[in-house]
Amino acid sequence: MKYGMNLLLWGAGADESVYPLLESCKSWGFDGIELPMFDFTVSNYEKLGVKLQQLELLSTAVTICNAPDNPISPDAGIRRAAVKRLKSAVDCCAAMGATHLVGPIHSAIGEFVGRGRTDDEWKWGQEVLAEVADHGQANNVTLVAEYLNRFECYLLNCAEDAGRFVREVGHSHLKTMYDTFHANIEEKDIHAAVQSMADQMVHVHISENDRSTPGEGGVDWDSSFAAIKEANYDGWLMIEAFGLALPEIAAATKIWRRMFPSEEHVAREGLKFMKSRWENE
């Protein structure tokens, strides 16, 4: 098992300003980090990769799609923009040595049309990600499509659908993941949810119901850890928490008040919680 920290808690930088944070994550005991990827300047990621190697930290990355590059848009030009954006993200992952590109990369976050998904949208999302997965395979980067709760997207809202979505594509470098925050909202049965996607699950976000310190909120951790372990999962347990450090991220994640005493508290206590729960499960 590998234990990681998503750096979105502090912001979305990819330049030398994050180096002290990488050093802190190493000193706190993390095996690696998950880097927010919104800028696609490859040279920044090449330098970042050198720093990660020096610290002996592993890495994954997380990104999103927006309205101008929505993979499920009826406009073929916008879908092409989605392919271009995600391929650029894969290039940046390869430059820094990140093994996984995770997130709601199947559709634009926060974009709604007043109805549920259509068969065409399902197919368009699969076509876009299949093409990008070819690029991922060539660069040793696995795409990981994350389902979100109904308030953030409408294409994939539950584990069963996420598993079926990537299973139908059938690409070695397109998989899915489990996130305790979204599952807490959407799933009726945590065990059944994890089992429905277990054969395609290559990543896990450990996220509290209020997006703060894992273990200090209301998520059903007993069910989540038991289900993940029963699935013989042995990848990343990655803390994903959000704060007020970056206004645009706070707005996107609907964080309006401070949920924890400090970012360091979230990281240190969250890591301690993950290790104790996994090792004692």
Q: At 58, which CATH number?
A: 3.20.20.150
Indicate the Cα dihedral angle 237, 99, 8, 223, nearest 10°.
Answer: -20
The secondary element (H helix, E strand) that includes residue 31 is none
| Alpha-carbon Rg for the chain in angstroms | 17
Per the CB < 8 A criterion, the answer to whether 12 and 36 are in contact is: yes
Q: Are 149 and 185 in contact (CB under 8 A)?
A: yes
Residue 90 has pLDDT above 90, yes or no: yes
The boundaries of the domain holding residue 9 are 2-280
Cα separation, 256 vs 212, whole angstroms:
12
In whole angstroms, what is the distance from residue 43 CA to residue 187 CA? Answer: 41
Number of domains the chain is built from = 1
pLDDT-based confidence at residue 11 (cuts at 50, 70, 90): confident
Write down how long the chain is: 281
- Res 78: pLDDT: 98
What does the longest C-alpha to C-alpha distance in the chain come to? 51
pLDDT of residue 160: 98
Res 112: pLDDT: 96
**CA 20 to CA 24: how far, in whole Å?**
6
3-state secondary structure of 117: coil
Contact 3, 30 (CB under 8 A): yes
At 238-260, the pLDDT tens digits run 999 998 877 877 787 888 999 99
In this prediction, residue 251 carries a pLDDT of 81
- Paired tokens of 43: 């040279």
| pTM of the model as a whole | 0.97
Would you say residue 122 has pLDDT above 90?
yes
Instruction: Kindly state the average pLDDT of the residues 17-42.
Output: 97
Q: What is the pLDDT of residues 147-206, one digit of tens each?
A: 999 999 999 999 999 999 999 999 999 999 999 999 999 999 999 999 999 999 999 999
